[in-house]
Chain A
Amino acid sequence: MNWIRQKIDKIKEPFEPGQKLEKYRPAINALDTFLFVPDHTTKKGSHIRDAVDLKRTMITVVLALIPALIFGMWNAGYQHFNQLGETPAFLEAFLHGAYKIVPMIVVSYAVGLGLEFAFAIMRGHEVNEGYLVTGLLIPMIMPVDIPLWMVALSVIFAVLIGKEAFGGTGMNILNPALTARAFAFFAYPTYMSGNKIWVSEASTVDSISGETILGSLAANKEVAYNAAEMFTGVIPGSISETSTLCIIAGALLLVLTKVADWRIILSGVIGAAAMGLLLNALPSMGVEGNGLTNFAWYNHLIVGGFAFGIVFMATDPVSAAQTMKGKWIYGALIGLTAILIRTLNPAYPEGIMLSILLLNVFAPTIDHYVIEGNIKKRKKRLEMKSVKTA
């Protein structure tokens, strides 16, 4: 490995401080540190450090996304051929999906990382690894037929307005990937919602319906899928959100490695189930409800983007609540509002995106009250003491 190292050190020479390409150091460093963990040593304080770093953490999230991504590629192809009345081989379906989805990932990474590098160079800090996850999440939550230029625009909006405007990684209020999706959703609604977009080429081929389960429920139509299909994910939807099974596989990796906080996921599921149960009980309380409110509460957990959102988006540590108690409240409220928006707002058949963004905004407020609790304990102790001495 030594000769590789020497080669890299040679390439890096013009980027050293005092040399003419010094400005571009963050860019070359970002590439170098992907090959080698740098030889930096501690200066003071703790002389030893844990093996974990942000790269390792972020790559773990990317690993957790892989099952859902692969399934998403296959499912995109399968839905397309299935609605045409064909039964595709695995590879045929997968390649059809990959042909659509890989370019989206390339565009997302190229545009997003380009911006991240530019900001790192401009601000003179190292490139943060957060975009490795964001850049993969953005295509995964888009409809399969979205034009690439829309992906690019959404990425630009998410990185510039969602993240860098707030000061960069670690400072953003909203989840950047959802910011991208929300931008596309409101800017190009015809490409992001409706009945004709959820299956590959549904808008051009008449025989493909391309309606999601939540879409048909909202229109009070019969659902043509059973619970097993909803759970495994062989249904139309955004690219990678359909398979609850693959999402659970990713969730297990995230929870076992403690990269994502289990509290948020668990409380989110509890919140959603509670809201589902409440809505299911409406008829017994004499309220008629609609197709969505009468949809069994456990089915609510496995259709739509709920599972994907609660596992991969709600747990984004930067935009989530940061205190332990806060995480419980934050997760539960996401679950409650997601199902509430889904069932009671006719304009949005799915609610998870908006509910996470809403709670992102409220997360600092939730934290504020938890922190106040800690502060109050301290003040009370001081008062007790002054009472005793008085």
Chain B
Amino acid sequence: MPIDVKIKKGLKLNLKGEAENSIEQAQKTKTVALRPSNFHSLVPKMVLKEGAKMKAGDEVLFSKYSDKTRIVSPVSGTLKEIKRGAKRKILEIIIEADDEIQYKDFGVLNPLEADSPAVRDRIFSTGLGIFLNQRPYDIPANADDTPKAIYISAYDTSPLTASFEVILKGKIDFFQNGINALTKLTGGSVYLGVDKESASFLKDIENVELISISGPHPAGNVGTLIHETQPMNRGEVVWTIRPEDVAIIGEQFKTGKYNAERTVAVTGQAAANRKYFKTLIGAEVSSILKDFEPNSRIISGSVLTGEKVESDGHLNYFSNTLTVIPEGDKHRMFGWVPFKDNNIHSASKTSLSWLFPKKKYEVNTNLNGEERALVVTGEMEEVMPLDILPMQLLKACMAGDIEKMENLGIYEVVPEDFALVEYTNTSKIEAQDIIRNGLDIMITEVG
């Protein structure tokens, strides 16, 4: 029997510009990029120098503080450029891809037959460990930890995002094999969250504790699943991983090849050709996005949590969605008048948009106001299904009060859990950034 996770608090955002359910092979990407900033707190040490040749699966860099946290190349080719910023900080590593990808052979390993240390060593020594994310703190998993559980959410409830049923179609054996490998990493269970409503093939996956999810966003966030099944306590470690990365792990165990294929949904009202594209981790944005309206924001990821990228830039390492929405850099006359401009979505009742719950809204990046002191209370609680006092926790983070943050449950949250708070709050505060800073304080002060 699957565990039921049903939440009521939250917000289902209906936005225009969903991708149609068809997959197309993307144009071959000429380069791929690895951005250390995609792995929070990772301080990169380069293994390869500019001009070095590599195969797909060759180690490119590792973490200065843990040499088992490695990032390997998604393609075979040449290390073209290491882009650096202030104090020679590495911003981006650009790899020029060969025409035909050469794979490093890691050999076949059946995770069900191998013992735990062998599986663990395989995952972390071949760079697959970077797909695992640690809670608390939302940072790359530490290879020496044994997490109390591993959580996977195969149901993305945030608006305009890819469906894992489309992405994982045809990869289900690899996905199962990846799950089998993950079970060897934890003393507890591997949890898999799926959409309760769909009759998905994902419900037949074995060796997992199945969670059926229902309710508005953030029902599908791993944070919600963890909180509803076994909430985090101080001193505990849980790992999370994205479903497509589980399939990559499974494939690497089965074939010995590191196949960094990423199926990316192009969504958003400003993108023309909205469908799924098969490309590579860190691929060029232009390989999947050709046609879009001028003056648009291109987001690698969802509108709530994604990373802003340029049209000649590269995808975020983890994202399976590329959202394109218009920039909102326009003035709006008397836009503050209550019940005016009802075509802009608002969770607040000071707009009439709540009368049309089915309507799909157009969005842009306008802030719809200016940042103000925190005045309105109660609105954050409406979109926070976790047993957390959101405003009090945010204030504790702003004040850098470690004891208070710990008491109010900082270990149970990551920035994405506050995405809706950030979207709906009247004072326009950057809630995700505040939580991120709070977590960073905890990392340095508590560890």
| In the complex, per-residue mask of B349-363: 1 if CB is within 8 Å of any chain A CB, else 0 | 111010000000001
Given contacts A5-B331, A36-B333, A320-B377, A45 and B368 within 8 Å (CB-CB): no
Name 22 A/B residue pairs within 8 A (Cβ), A-sorted.
A38-B331, A44-B308, A45-B419, A46-B419, A47-B303, A51-B344, A51-B346, A52-B348, A52-B369, A52-B424, A54-B375, A54-B426, A56-B338, A59-B336, A257-B338, A258-B348, A318-B375, A320-B377, A322-B378, A327-B378, A371-B389, A374-B409
> Out of B347, B348, B367, which one reaches A40, CB within 8 Å?
B367
Set of chain B residues within 8 Å of A22, measured between Cβ atoms: none
B329 CB-CB contact with A under 8 Å: yes
Alpha-carbon gap, A378 to B381, bound state (A): 18
Set of chain B residues within 8 Å of A51, measured between Cβ atoms: 335, 341, 344-346, 348, 351, 353, 368
Known: A51-B344, A57-B376. 13 other contacts (CB 8 A): A1-B333, A5-B331, A43-B430, A46-B303, A48-B365, A49-B366, A50-B348, A50-B368, A57-B350, A60-B350, A170-B375, A256-B349, A385-B233
| Min CB gap B296→A, angstroms | 11
Whether B368 pairs with A37 at a CB distance below 8 angstroms is yes
A63 CB-CB contact with B under 8 Å: yes
| Min CB gap A126→B, angstroms | 6
A128 CB-CB contact with B under 8 Å: yes
Given contacts A40-B370, A50-B347, A374 and B389 within 8 Å (CB-CB): yes
> Out of A34, A37, A46, which one reaches B432, CB within 8 Å?
A46
Alpha-carbon gap, A263 to B335, bound state (A): 29
Set of chain B residues within 8 Å of A206, measured between Cβ atoms: none
A86 CB-CB contact with B under 8 Å: no
> Within residues 304 to 336 of chain A, which ones have a CB less than 8 A from any CB in chain B?
317-318, 320, 322-324, 327
Whether B331 pairs with A48 at a CB distance below 8 angstroms is no
Whether A257 pairs with B349 at a CB distance below 8 angstroms is yes
Alpha-carbon gap, A255 to B89, bound state (A): 52
Whether B329 pairs with A261 at a CB distance below 8 angstroms is no
Tally of chain B residues near chain A (CB < 8 A): 74
Whether B325 pairs with A44 at a CB distance below 8 angstroms is no
Whether B373 pairs with A168 at a CB distance below 8 angstroms is yes
A165 CB-CB contact with B under 8 Å: no
Whether B335 pairs with A37 at a CB distance below 8 angstroms is yes
Given contacts A53-B336, A257-B348, A47 and B365 within 8 Å (CB-CB): yes
* List of 9 A-B pairs having minimum Cβ-Cβ separation, nearest first: A53-B369, A170-B373, A37-B335, A55-B336, A52-B348, A51-B346, A51-B344, A36-B331, A45-B432
| In the complex, per-residue mask of A369-389: 1 if CB is within 8 Å of any chain B CB, else 0 | 001001101110110010000
Whether B370 pairs with A126 at a CB distance below 8 angstroms is yes
Set of chain B residues within 8 Å of A256, measured between Cβ atoms: 349
Whether A49 pairs with B368 at a CB distance below 8 angstroms is yes
Q: Which chain A residue shows the least CB distance to B395?
A: A322
Whether A50 pairs with B378 at a CB distance below 8 angstroms is no
Set of chain A residues within 8 Å of B391, measured between Cβ atoms: 322
Given contacts A35-B333, A52-B368, A374-B387, A47 and B373 within 8 Å (CB-CB): no
